[in-house]
Amino acid sequence: MSPLAKALTALIDHNDGRPLSKGADDIGSADRAATPRDSSRAAQTAITCADSSLRPGFERLDRDETRIKAASPVFGAAWSTGVYLCYDWPFDGERATPQVNADGAAPVLVVGGTGDPTTPYPGARHMARALGDGVGVLLTAEEEGHGTYPQNRCVTERVDQYLRTGRTPAPGTVCRGSMS
């Protein structure tokens, strides 16, 4: 059994999160003082707030939370307060959709999962088209869940090839679900 599976078993079966926490702490430099703590939350905030001009105040929280939960029974409760992430962000964000057409550029591989709840597949199709003919090349992963690289072997092989050689898979390539 893998260390992650053991840690999750300890958490689920014995309500013991210590192995999972220890595993998370073991990632990074052996010198913990020299290794900054995970900055993914700060990065997510900065990216989100730079990408959006939305700055709602907390007076709308109850109304918006109810509306978001109704719209998304699965994710609404967890994400409903996320719209307030930028309420006191000190910089203006952009709500513009930038021009991404790259006619004449080298091919750009765009990977989209048909069952991705976080970055829906139609967005990947749109991005590949927006990049321009012969530039945006869509690799479709018929897969459930967010993120297929490096979990899906087929996707991983094609992305790795693209990163090593600059060659994209043939237009219309589909990788069937094979998360490993």
The pLDDT tens digits for 103-138 are 899 999 999 999 988 888 999 999 999 999 999 999
Which residues are CB-contacts of 56 (< 8 A; sequence separation ≥ 6)?
64, 83, 84, 87
pLDDT tens for 18-64 read 776 665 544 444 444 544 556 677 777 888 788 878 777 777 777 88
The confidence score (pLDDT) of residue 122 equals 93
CA distances in angstroms from 89 to 39, 53, 55, listed in the order given: 17, 10, 8
Give strand ranges (E) for the chain: 108-115, 136-144, 174-176
User: Using 50, 70 and 90 to split pLDDT, how confident is the model at 140?
Assistant: very high
The confidence score (pLDDT) of residue 72 equals 82
The confidence score (pLDDT) of residue 23 equals 57
Q: What is the pTM of this model?
A: 0.58
In eight-state DSSP terms, residue 56 is -
> Among positive and negative, which fits the CA dihedral 60, 66, 67, 68?
positive
